[in-house]
Amino acid sequence: MTDPDVVELAKRRGFFFQANDAYGSVAGFHAFGPRGAALKRNVEDAWRDRFVVREGNHEIESPTVVPEDVFAASGHLDTFDDMLVECPDCGESHRADHLVEDESDVEDAESLAADAVEELLADHDADCPTCDAALAGEAVDEFNLMFETSIGPGSSQTGYLRPETAQGILVEFPRLKEYARNQLPFGVAQVGRSYRNEISPRNSLLRVRELTLAELQQFAAPDGDGPDLAPVADVPLRLYPAAAQEREGEGDLELTVREAVDEGVVANPWLAYYLGRARQWYERVGVDPARLRFRQHLPGELAHYASACWDAEARLHGDWVEVGGFAFRADHDLTKHDAHSDERFTLFREYDEPRTVERPTVDPDMSYLGPEFGEAAADVVDALETLAERDPDAFSGDRVTVEADDETCSLPVEKTGFAVREETVHGEHVTPHVVEPSIGIDRVVYAVTAHALRHDEVDGEERTRLALPPTVAPTVAGVFPLTDAQADRARDLADRLTRRGMPATYDDAGSIGRRYRRQDEIGTPFCVTLDERTPADDCATIRDRDTTDQVRVPLAEVPDTIAALRAGETTFDAVSREYDDG
């Protein structure tokens, strides 16, 4: 799953590494060094550009510490669990479902009940991976993955570190719909830290306890048209549908977005749209398209809030690893928050013209209900109102019966004031559906680094190279003076590049070959060398990281040239032709 080469390079060159190393290991927490933080920020900015700016969506920031009520409503308090088994000998905790998958043919143990997993552990004589003690007979518990804390002193409130950024958007829906002027569809995004108290964090950035998620909640009318698919219609998707996973031996499909929708493979057009956008984005930030697929969740695998879900998976060191999830959450969350809170999580949709509707209503005779039902009378009124709305036929006989205050109350229909009235209605309350593209930024950073790592040979010497796309590389250019005489000009060029948003590193230490190697290893796409000819011809040499091709360019034009190369507006070949001919 993880490649030791990637992990070593990441640590040595300041990409990412286990945090707080000086105090021994607390698994699951990573720090991003100067290179990794820049790479991560570039990946996030590319996400923002693709999923927020170009889509005309909104972006917000909400707190990471969230009061208990929110997760009681969303269902995370009850169901955001993993299965835990503790070794009776060494006390180490393990994911029980993962042990079952390792020991048996079961592929999807997460979807089983805890007692079934407990039985499977016993049936397969599972041992503790740490100390080899037998785990048969040990209890499998549901362990909630949210970090808990107390808010405030004294009579404090329970809070949780958010396991996803999504709830911070969903819980603010009553306000966000106002900012969107009450018009569907609209999308609200958030990029930020999220937390999962994993039982067994491992594999570098792939299973961590603190992570960055980039999530978009696309709100749309349940009966709406869906997005215009034209801009992504021809984007090719490698799809692995649930049906194919269930049939032995069937593999991926290659379909365009349009085909996937037309053939019903991806049923929800918003999902299909964002799979297409995601496919473009993953490639742009450096995930190898040949090692990327979209796998549909099996029914037992779906999160509690999802009606349908596709995972983006990247091939990493022989395994398929989730690097994003695309869930159709329907109206699950908004309906829950509407029921649990004091606000309405709906949107009022005005009709083009007012409509006349027949509305069954009651107008109970309180002089009868009061004496008859005493303190329960008010509850009887509520029950009658609800019944009239849901089942007006119940009022067609002489008497009607409702449950109120835990009693069965029967009364004559004539005392209920039941009537069907005509009403003019100007619109209706709609609970939007939600489609959620959710990207695990840390895993993408790992995948991008892993897919970029190359070992090749230059002039008979081995070199390590990170073939990062220029848009996400932490440093855009290395700038080298060949001798001290060019130092000032080189520093000035590095400054100019950096101030134009193209971070450049000045380096005058060691041979040119060693300086190239240092930049190759951190993925710097271009190096610029100033040499003894520079004072005379006012030119510098730009070298391409991947081909090691070189071209001599007027110093004044270096920034524009590198900007154009980075933006993909030209190619190194084209630049070479332009200047070598000139």
Under rule CB under 8 A, residue 150 binds a second copy: yes
Under rule CB under 8 A, residue 518 binds a second copy: no
Spacing of C-alpha 285 from chain mean position: 15
Pairing of strands 292-296, 236-240: parallel
Rounded distance, CA 58 to CA 568, Å? 27
**CB 170, min distance to a second copy, A:** 10
| Binding-site size, a second copy (CB under 8 A) | 81
Under rule CB under 8 A, residue 31 binds a second copy: yes
Residues 212-241 that bind a second copy (CB under 8 A): none
Residues 553-582 that bind a second copy (CB under 8 A): none
**CB 137, min distance to a second copy, A:** 18
- 8 A C-beta contact, residue 98 and residue 110: no
Q: Can you name the residues that pair with 425 across neighbouring β-strands?
A: 355
Burial of 247 (0-12, 13-18, 19+ CB in 10 A): exposed
- Binding segment toward a second copy, per CB under 8 A, in 19-27, 290-298, 388-396, 427-435: 19-27
Among 3, 93, 284, 307, binds a second copy (CB under 8 A): 93
Under rule CB under 8 A, residue 207 binds a second copy: no
Of 35, 29, 30, residue with least CA distance to 12 = 35
Under rule CB under 8 A, residue 273 binds a second copy: no
- Binding segment toward a second copy, per CB under 8 A, in 53-61, 126-134, 221-229, 356-364: 53-61
Rounded distance, CA 553 to CA 538, Å? 9
**CB 437, min distance to a second copy, A:** 18
Among 6, 7, 10, 32, binds a second copy (CB under 8 A): 32
Among 3, 67, 394, 579, binds a second copy (CB under 8 A): 67
Pairing of strands 526-530, 477-481: parallel
Of 281, 252, 236, residue with least CA distance to 469 = 281
Under rule CB under 8 A, residue 347 binds a second copy: no
Residue closer to a second copy by CB (options 170, 380) is 170
Under rule CB under 8 A, residue 342 binds a second copy: yes
Under rule CB under 8 A, residue 65 binds a second copy: yes
Residue closer to a second copy by CB (options 522, 575) is 522
**CB 51, min distance to a second copy, A:** 14
Rounded distance, CA 77 to CA 144, Å? 7
The DSSP line for 105-131 is S-S-GGGS-HHHHHHHHHHTT-B-TTT
Residue closer to a second copy by CB (options 360, 474) is 474
Structure tokens given for 488: 């000032």
Residue closer to a second copy by CB (options 199, 287) is 199
- Binding segment toward a second copy, per CB under 8 A, in 194-202, 299-307, 542-550, 553-561: 194-202
Under rule CB under 8 A, residue 152 binds a second copy: yes
Under rule CB under 8 A, residue 60 binds a second copy: yes
CA distances to 16, 19, 337, 428, 578 from 199, rounded to whole Å, are 22, 18, 29, 46, 58
Under rule CB under 8 A, residue 81 binds a second copy: no
Of 233, 328, 333, 323, residue with least CA distance to 277 = 233
Rounded distance, CA 479 to CA 326, Å? 42
Residue closer to a second copy by CB (options 192, 469) is 192
Among 58, 291, 349, 517, binds a second copy (CB under 8 A): 58
Under rule CB under 8 A, residue 174 binds a second copy: yes
- 8 A C-beta contact, residue 309 and residue 327: yes
Among 102, 107, 132, 179, binds a second copy (CB under 8 A): 179
Element (H, E) at 512: helix 512-521
